[in-house]
Chains A and B, each alone.
Chain A
Amino acid sequence: AQSVAQPEDQVNVAEGNPLTVKCTYSVSGNPYLFWYVQYPNRGLQFLLKYITGDNLVKGSYGFEAEFNKSQTSFHLKKPSALVSDSALYFCAVRDFNSGSARQLTFGSGTQLTVLP
């Protein structure tokens, strides 16, 4: 079974400061890891993914995430937050070895608020 934990329901950060949204995962095999962002009353927008290769993954809108296998983490980061980054962020995982099962397992979401 695969699972994702986002330990923080809410993260507040001042505009211009660095931000981190935490995510840890559990899979039986190798993970595919994803970050999505959701604005109010909208679907999810893909931000970035880790499949293989470099542990530091760069994505849309200046976001990046670092895959840490020993800590089973995939924290989302941005060096300088913008007010427009305020949204709901979801981490998701899929087991690389899950064969034909392609569904993602999502974390509970973290509401990011960037204060002006």
Chain B
Amino acid sequence: QLQLQESGSGLVTPSQTLSLTCAVSGGSISSGGSSWSWIRQPPGEGLEWIGYIYHSGSTYYNPSLNSRVSISVDKSKNQFSLKLRSVTAADTAVYYCARAREQAYFDYWGRGSLVTVSS
């Protein structure tokens, strides 16, 4: 059974960089046909896809966040990471990592990590 677990800072100062890591267990991040995404959900709101990475390292980001986002993969540790620069209060959200089966729909999710942007 694949499991994903987010970790990182729960409190970030405005204008700084949000950093989160998603550890994958029960399967390989290099498995073909899968891509690995970050998705966020502001308190009381809906879901927003942030970006994805493939095990090859290829990435694509939501155009609305593109200039501030980077996602990287560490195959040796079976994990992938998110960095979001120049954060504001609007970036306060629960951040989920998820696997897209066949690079399509999200069948495995982490439990989510609440990140609050505040001074």
The answer to whether A and B interact is no
A residues sitting closer than 8 Å to B (CB atoms) are none
